[in-house]
């Protein structure tokens, strides 16, 4: 259930509500909006009478939440969630672009990519140090050495770092270097990992699973949110369908649907969504037009020799041109880039 406090309710009245929630063996999650404070009650509250909270001083109303996901729900929080990634706000009017290579390969590659995407207008460097691959014989990443190279490139270019974590045991290590922890599509329902990134209280970029419904996607986000970690970004990166021409089928419907269902920011990965460099530009524009709060785009200085995903990676000059073309699209829908 959601307990909506009155506008004039002070900290003392809010504290009394929190204490009552905890006395019932439930967990309270605070959401402080511009006008009101909302208390989300998480746990098995089926036996709790809403009137037991509605009668408390400072409570305006109590709203039962019947859906499977609570904290991620737009019913829990009407306002969009907005938070900072190293000084850049995501979920607000400005569209955030994260860009860089699929995998960190060496010092020169990641630094060249970082400087190029920064120059073109990206605010975060994406790059994999740990790579869960379909084949055990494919390049699996440089591990901690890759994390160190990402941190070096961040300092040189002035970018936030977004990188994937693949196991719960990796979370403390990756959190030392990354500004945003990425949970990949293959790990969307790795519940131990979701608990671990939630407990880290780092911003988390959660990718939609290859065959996941939106309900499953938002329930995965709920695991992270349940640890009082509100900084979750949802990433649509394409789902598996019968189509084989593209790597995946990017679900444009998911963008407005997620915005209706949830208050969390939504970004799109057109590189994995298409698997083809030639399609990234058009799909990026479509994503912004559909309401995405950001993009995650693969950029490699020399895609022909990339150790992973070269076919879907833009060259630096192609990325720079795309950023120029995206600005009028953003302006047309009342956003900035």
Contact 250, 238 (CB under 8 A): yes
Phi, psi of 52 (to 5 degrees): -65, -20
**pLDDT, mean of each 10-residue run, the chain (337 residues):** 87 92 87 78 77 90 80 90 94 97 95 97 95 72 92 96 96 96 97 96 97 97 93 97 96 98 98 97 98 98 92 97 98 96
**pLDDT at position 269:** 98
**pLDDT at position 7:** 86
* CATH 3.30.70.1140 domain span(s) along the chain: 2-63
Q: What is the pTM of this model?
A: 0.88
Q: pLDDT tens digits for 234-282?
A: 999 999 999 999 999 999 999 999 999 999 999 999 999 999 999 999 9
Considering the four listed CATH numbers 3.30.70.1140, 3.30.450.40, 3.10.20.30, 2.40.128.20, the one that applies to the domain covering 2-63 is 3.30.70.1140
* CATH 3.20.20.70 domain span(s) along the chain: 83-332
Considering the four listed CATH numbers 3.20.20.70, 3.40.50.1110, 3.40.190.290, 3.30.70.870, the one that applies to the domain covering 83-332 is 3.20.20.70
User: Given the structure tokens 């009028």, which residue do they identify?
Assistant: 328
Buried b (16+ CB within 10 A) or exposed e, 218-256: bbbbbbbbbbebbbbbbbbbbbeeeeeebbbebbbebbe
Report the SS3 class of residue 126.
strand
**pLDDT at position 137:** 63
Contact 288, 97 (CB under 8 A): no
């Amino acid at each position: 259930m959601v307990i909506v406090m009155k506008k004039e309710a002070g900290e003392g009245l809010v504290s009394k509500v929190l204490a009552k929630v905890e006395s019932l063996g439930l967990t309270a999650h605070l959401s402080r909006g511009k006008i009101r404070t909302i208390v989300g009650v998480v746990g098995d509250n089926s036996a709790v009478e809403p009137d037991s909270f509605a009668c408390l001083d400072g409570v305006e109303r109590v709203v039962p939440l019947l859906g499977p996901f609570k904290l991620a729900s737009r019913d829990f929080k009407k306002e969009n969630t907005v938070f900072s990634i190293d000084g850049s706000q995501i979920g607000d009017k400005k569209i955030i672009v994260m860009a860089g290579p699929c995998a960190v390969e060496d010092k020169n590659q990641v630094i060249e990519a970082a400087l190029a995407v920064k120059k073109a207008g990206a605010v975060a460097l994406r790059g994999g140090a740990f790579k869960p691959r379909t084949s055990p014989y494919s390049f699996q990443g440089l591990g901690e050495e890759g994390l160190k190279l990402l941190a070096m490139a961040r300092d040189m270019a002035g970018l936030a770092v977004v990188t994937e974590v693949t196991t719960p045991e990796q979370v403390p290590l990756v959190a030392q270097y990354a500004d945003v922890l990425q949970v990949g599509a293959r790990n969307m329902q790795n519940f131990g990992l979701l608990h671990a990134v939630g407990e880290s209280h780092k911003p988390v970029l959660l990718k939609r699973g290859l065959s996941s419904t939106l309900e499953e996607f938002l329930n995965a986000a709920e695991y992270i949110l349940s640890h009082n970690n509100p900084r979750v970004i949802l990433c649509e990166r394409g789902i598996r369908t019968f189509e084989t021409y593209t790597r995946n089928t990017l679900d444009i419907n998911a963008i407005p649907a997620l915005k209706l269902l949830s208050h969390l920011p939504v970004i799109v990965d057109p590189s994995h969504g298409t698997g083809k460099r030639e399609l990234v530009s058009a799909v990026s524009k479509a994503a912004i037009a559909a309401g995405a709060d950001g993009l995650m785009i693969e950029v490699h200085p020399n895609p022909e020799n990339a150790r992973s995903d070269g076919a879907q990676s833009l060259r630096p000059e192609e990325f720079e041109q795309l950023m120029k073309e995206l600005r009028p699209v953003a302006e047309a829908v009342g956003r900035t880039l």
